[in-house]
Structure 1
Amino acid sequence: MQAKSNSSYNIIPAVQVMQDLSITIETLFDLAKQEESLFLIDIPDTVEVYISDRDILGSTKTYRGRQLGGVQEKGELFPIHQDIKFLCIRPSECMPLIHREKIRSKLFIAVGTMHVDGTLELLNTHSYSNRYPDQNLKGFNWFGSFLTYQPALKGQNRPGKHHQPTAEASVSIKIEDLFLTSEDYGKIADRSRETGKDYGRFKVEPWTSTMLIDLNEASTLFFSNNQRSDKAIVKDWFQKKWNNKKVGRDVIEQAVNAILPDDLYSHSDSLEHIGQEILSQYNDYASSALIHINEEAKRHWKDMESNTTRNRLAKRDTMISEFVEKGLTRKLAGAASTIIRPDASR
């Protein structure tokens, strides 16, 4: 996925951030919360946005480290300036998207405008009133809110100071609708590198090749928290990851099949054939194929390290046959034999 418009624009889709950093949606929201970042969404045509100098969001909320005031009535509402193109929402308010396809909101802590050079300016109610003095909003406090309402009826004058909107209208928000500023993206990327990659319960061991690490990472990235990511997106992720590894198309396509949850892959083995002791070491969303691949990699590594094999990895045909015995298709078994090969043996 590309940046929202021109590459010089400083906003990046949240989905792209997750793919670039190989992090889950939950990790993205957690890192964004730590960095006090705000997510941006386009203002849909189905609503009009108004500013109020009353704290509708509540006394426990903060804006970039500043404690907000107590709950008050809405007070008088004013339509926002036409330059405003974005609404801003906190990571904590996005958290339900971990388990739901969409959320709805009609209260927003800030708005955003994009300058001609592509730079962004985020404004709370106080900075907004200073930014647009022609609207006679001087003196708005830090604690106001931006609210969404149904548009004025066709033919009516746009509601103003003496024509207050009455019908609230919430905005539907999906993960695909969220954007981050490039500045916040950089902060989240730095924080992600500090905390490491997310594999869930899976632990990287000496027997884990780089490609096998990627396989387990993708499982968490695309299928944890009941996610059902599109196969095309997963395939694109592997292609970018393995672009310099000189692997064929079949390996990439079978890597996708290897991590598909069992109910999405018709050739999957039953988890009942895997012992509970082994299952307890893996994530609940790990496919039976992925578990078999990890376990076989571990076994072949131990055999290679033993004196009897003279530090040689089993032959490819041998590994393929053993994978097929575990219930993998021959194509997936061939890809798995490539994926588990130790980096030093490539």
Structure 2
Amino acid sequence: MPVDSAVANPIAYSTAPPIAAGLLAWYDRAARRLPWRAPPGDPPADPYRVWLSEVMLQQTTVAAVGRYFAEFTRRWPTVEALAAADDAEVMGAWAGLGYYARARNLIACARAVAAAGGRFPDEEAGLRALPGIGDYTAAAIAAIAFGRRAVVVDANVERVVARLFRIETPLPVAKPAIRGAADGITPDMRAGDFAQAMMDLGATICTPKRPACAICPLIDHCAAFRAGDPERFPAKAPKAARPERKGTAFWLEAEGAVLLVRRPDKGMLGGMRALPTGPWTDADPGLAGAPRSAAWRSAGKVAHVFTHFALELDVVTAVASGRDAGEGEWWPVARIGEAGLPTLFAKAARLAQKARGKDGE
């Protein structure tokens, strides 16, 4: 019997530490139903679906991931199918999820697994050797898909553990202490269910603001609750100011099409279709980097926040007399929604189209 299917066996509770036993009992009643998850008591989910969901969920909410997961598994139901897919199709399907290095690693990892016979490694060390799989993702796949005892610590689990043990050290310095504490409460049996229970507890009860302590299954074990200050945890070091950069996005139309380019594989939004842009710098670059000499008109500005900096793009539009054979591709304006533009450039495209409509051009 798979480790995680032991829900009906009282031993799964009686041999677990008190925190784990209480949490697993709660999870059996209250587990979220998610498309990539096996319900408590069922055999573990397909490793491909676990891996895909974990990659998508990195720095992205469950609500945002749902429709992307459904579309990916519809188009590419197995790791072999994803491995055989065209890079541009996968990157286009990923558009809007952000952190596009994940998509490039997704393709590379799928191809590595397919080349190895289509089976994911069932332990952390082998999983960490695959492209794009770090410590957290390896632990999550090992525990959830294969029933291995692994210590799974994401942001939700960090918050739960920091409050349970009232860990005063600020993040990120506290990460080793939090992981050590999580290791101490992770049971040998049902490690996958335990990991998902911790995630669910952090997402639904032990929330960043106004945690619902009164209905928490771990209230009797929580040091922060006893001290009356759960919202203080996890402690965080002051954030450094995020740098601000400026740039220009160019919407060039000709004969019902707009010029798009493919961004370099290395760097921000690598490999994605986009509007041409000039450099992203501390000062306004003006029309530097324009794809053509033209009568450019300002359509307004769009802003986007990346992990390490904030960007403001001035969106400018122009009409070309014809489509030349230069760098880029001419994409039908009427089908711009099918181009798979990342969020930043999708916003710029909407602004440009709105401005062009007002201009009556």
TM-score by length of 2: 0.24
TM-score by length of 1: 0.25
Who wins on radius of gyration, i.e. which is larger? 1
